[in-house]
Structure formats: C-alpha cells, structure tokens
Amino acid sequence: VEYWDLEQAKLRKGSSAAEFQGRIALVTGAASGIGQACVKELLANGAVVAALDVNPLITEQYETSNVLGIRCDVTDSADVADAVERVVLRFGGLDIVVSNAGIFTASAPISEMKDEDWSRSLDVNLSAAMRLLRVSVPYLAHGIDPSIVIVGSKNVSAPGPGAAAYSAAKAGLTQLARVAALELASSGIRINTVHPNAVFDTAIWTDEVLQARANHYGLTVDEYRTSNLLGTHVSSKDVARMVCAMAGSLFAKTTGAQVPVDGGTERVV
C-alpha cells in the first residue's frame, strides 16, 4: 500500500491525467479475447489492473508491474475471494470490476441438452459473476468512482437456436446486473452491461462453434461473420472501448444500462 501511495504521488505530478490514473481495476477472463483487450485498454488509460484467468500462464502473460496476473477459477468461491483479497493487498483497494469470464458449451437443441453442459454454462456465465460481486462490493464501496461492467451478450435480446444454455445464462446475468444497480446505487457503485455480438477473436469462437452457429442460420462461415445490419466485424477492442467508457466519466451518471456493441441486430431494431 505504501508503494502504491508513492506511485500515485509521482503520477499526480504529471500535467495531464489519464482517465483512470490512480484507479485499480480487476478483469476476469483476462488471458484472451475481450478480457485481454480490456486489460490493455484500462492500462492505456492509466489504471493498474488485476488480470484473472483460469489459465495458469496468466501470472506471466503481462510483462509490466502495473498488471497483477492471478490464476483464478471463477466457479470456486474461495478462489475468487482469495484473488480479490490479493488485489486489495497489492494495490490498496478496488475501483473497477469487469466481469467478463465466459464459455460457450456445445451447441445443442433443448431436446438434446446435456445436464453437464447446462450446469457448466450457468456456473461460469452467471453464478461466477455473483461470486465476484459478492466479494468485490465491500471494497468497491470505498473505491474511487466505483464501477462494475458486466459483459453480457446480444443473445439476451436475440437468442439463437442451439444456444439455450448460453442465452439463458446471459439473460440471468443481465437480471443480476439490474438488481445490483438497485442495491448498490446508495453506495455510489455504478453497474452497467455491454452486449457484444459475435466477437470472433475470442476463445469462445472455436472453428467448431463458428461452423455450428453458421449452420443453424443456413449461412457460410464468411456470411455469418458479418451477419449484422452494418455488415461489420466486431472486435474485442471495440468491446473493450465500451467497457472503459462505462467505467469512466462518460457514464458517471448512468447505472443499470445495457448497451449493444453488435453492428445492429434486425431482430432487436
């Protein structure tokens, strides 16, 4: 904590402060895809970041003292609590939490859904966020402009066939965020949700998953990649920029919001 105070004193001497200078952020699912992009974007805007991931290589992935890589299984309550405590002990507090960790289990119609796939999706995509919020909120309540950003999915408003487990979990996650907005506002904690469309530079989108989703819609893989109103690719960096906007001053007076980063979805528009 003393080291962190010293570093902040040095940073305050700068002539122009970055958006998140002096802020402490935590990102789950930080080893790749949207999570990795969020770590980089938060760093670029002045924050120090705790990067959590189940991949043990996360501890060595970011070669800067401004990132603390922690191997963490978000389905394990003790693991999550320990990780958050380590962040607070290392940096002296917690200001921004990005709940991003997620999985897409095998595509299957409901009639063929396996119990283990259903349960696993709910555990990682929904229950893990509850565990993270539960242990983070007491620290966020003492944070600087505390903010939580939930990474949801366009499947909340426009679910797809064969994706019941993922869609239901993300819908539940969105409701969790809405309830949290009601409960946490009195503590000055904001919570907002970003809903990406298919972001193909993430670990979720294996070749098998991509082909299966394209098949469900009768599209080729290339057609599926740009099957939004703008006909554009949505990247992890696009989503990370919205995450940072939500965590920053642009959304200073907003909580409980849901914002799509999806290129436009005709089933919603």
Q: What is the pLDDT of residues 147-201, one digit of tens each?
A: 999 999 999 999 989 999 999 999 999 999 999 999 999 999 999 999 999 888 8
How many folded domains does the chain comprise? 1
DSSP assignment letter at 127? I
Which of the following is catalytic: 139, 166, 217, 224? Answer: 166
Counting residues of the chain whose pLDDT is more than 70, the rounded percentage is: 94
Counting residues of the chain whose pLDDT is more than 90, the rounded percentage is: 79
Q: Is 165 part of a structural domain of the chain?
A: yes
Boundaries of domain holding 77: 2-12+19-200+235-261
Known active-site residue 166: yes
Segment 105-121, tens digit of pLDDT: 988 999 999 999 999 99
Q: Is 207 part of a structural domain of the chain?
A: no
The reply to whether the predicted model has a pTM over 0.75 is: yes
Handedness of CA 28, 169, 167, 152 (dihedral sign): negative
Q: Is 208 part of a structural domain of the chain?
A: no
- Would you state the pLDDT for residue 245? 99
Does the pLDDT value for residue 243 go beyond 90? Answer: yes
Q: Is 87 part of a structural domain of the chain?
A: yes
Strands 258-261 and 190-196: parallel
Q: How many residues does the chain have?
A: 269
Neighbours of 104 (CB within 10 A): 23
